[in-house]
Amino acid sequence: MSGDLSFLRLILEASIIVQLVLLMLVLASVASWAVILKKRRVLNRAISLADSFEKKFWSGGDLTAMYQEINKRTQAATGMESIFEGGFREFVRLRSEPGIDQGKMMDGSQRAMRVSQMREVDRLERNLAMLATIGSTSPYVGLFGTVWGIMNTFTQLGNVQHATLAMVAPGIAEALVATAMGLFAAIPAVIAYNRYADQVTRLENRYDTFAEEFVSILQRHAPRSKLGS
């Protein structure tokens, strides 16, 4: 308990600049944890939806029925479903045009799926840059607070004839708190960014693979009146 009070006293007795630095780092830490928790839910859901959709897609069901089921939902499709919906919709639209060849149908479907995929990846990557920024800048912000606090301590000691460790220690300690807070804000942000960036990359690769496989299926079934996987 006394250690907690000592820590709080160091913060309360720090200079205004150091206190502002600590406040900035606390806000950065809160913001990063908010992004970390939200992004975790988003990515876990995206992975789960991709798993369930691929299982359903490769089970051999009718593609038209699958498209109609997705299209009837009030909630917009996301993830792999969105890529499938965009590609299939464009394929059906182009197929209804008289005189259009198969190559143009495939190109149109690929473009539609690419647009949907880019939107999905952009959604998954949202706020990851914030984690990268917090992770890379927080240690330097904390170091600035530490340097300022040490400078302020030695400036005050300039007016004293005989400096002792008891006089120097509180000022140095309160300055080092800023460095500790900078690391506290940066480390979780860096770990989360690396993990989530890897998950987004893996999902993007899965989306690419699915789009290529889906185009191959559309090519095989283009001449038919009814699509099935």
Q: What is the pLDDT of residue 170?
A: 66
Looking up tokens 């004293």 gives: 160
Overall average pLDDT of the 113-121 stretch: 93
Say if CB 123 and CB 83 are below 8 A apart: no
Report pLDDT for 18. 81
Q: How far apart are CA 91 and CA 93, in angstroms?
A: 5
Question: For residue 96, which phi and psi values (nearest 5 degrees)?
Answer: -80, -10
Nearest to 9 by CA among 162, 217, 174: 174
For every residue of 134-197, DSSP letters joined together read HHHHHHHHHHHHHHHHHHHHHHHHTT-SS--HHHHHHHHHHHHHHHHHHHHHHHHHHHHHHHHH
Q: Looking at residue 6, what is its pLDDT?
A: 67
pLDDT recorded at residue 106: 86
Q: What share of the chain has pLDDT > 90, as a percent?
A: 46
Q: Is the per-residue pLDDT at 194 higher than 90?
A: yes
Residue with tokens 């191959």: 216
- Give me the residue spans of the domains in the chain: 2-221
- Sort 58 into a burial class: Cβ within 10 Å, 0-12 / 13-18 / 19+: exposed
Contact 60, 224 (CB under 8 A): no
d(CA 129, CA 39): 12
Q: What is the pLDDT of residues 72-116, one digit of tens each?
A: 887 888 889 999 999 998 888 888 777 777 788 888 889 999 999
d(CA 143, CA 145): 5
Q: What is the pLDDT of residue 5?
A: 41
For 21-51, write each residue's pLDDT tens digit: 889 999 999 999 999 999 999 999 999 999 9
When pLDDT is cut at 50, 70 and 90, the band that residue 15 belongs to is confident
Mean pLDDT of 52-76: 86
Phi, psi of 133 (to 5 degrees): -65, -45
> Which pLDDT value is given to residue 160?
61
Give the CA-trace dihedral at 12, 18, 22, 24, to 10 degrees: 130
* pLDDT number for residue 3: 45
CB burial class (10 A; 0-12, 13-18, 19+) of residue 56? middle
pLDDT digits (tens, 9 = 90+) for 125-170: 999 999 999 999 999 999 988 888 878 777 766 666 665 655 666 6
pLDDT for residue 2 is more than 60: no
pLDDT confidence of residue 218:
85
Q: Cβ(192)–Cβ(36) under 8 Å?
A: yes
The pLDDT of residue 163: 56
Q: Which pTM value belongs to this model?
A: 0.81
Structure tokens at 217: 């299926």
- Please state, in angstroms and rounded to a whole number, the distance separating the CA atoms of residues 12 and 6: 10
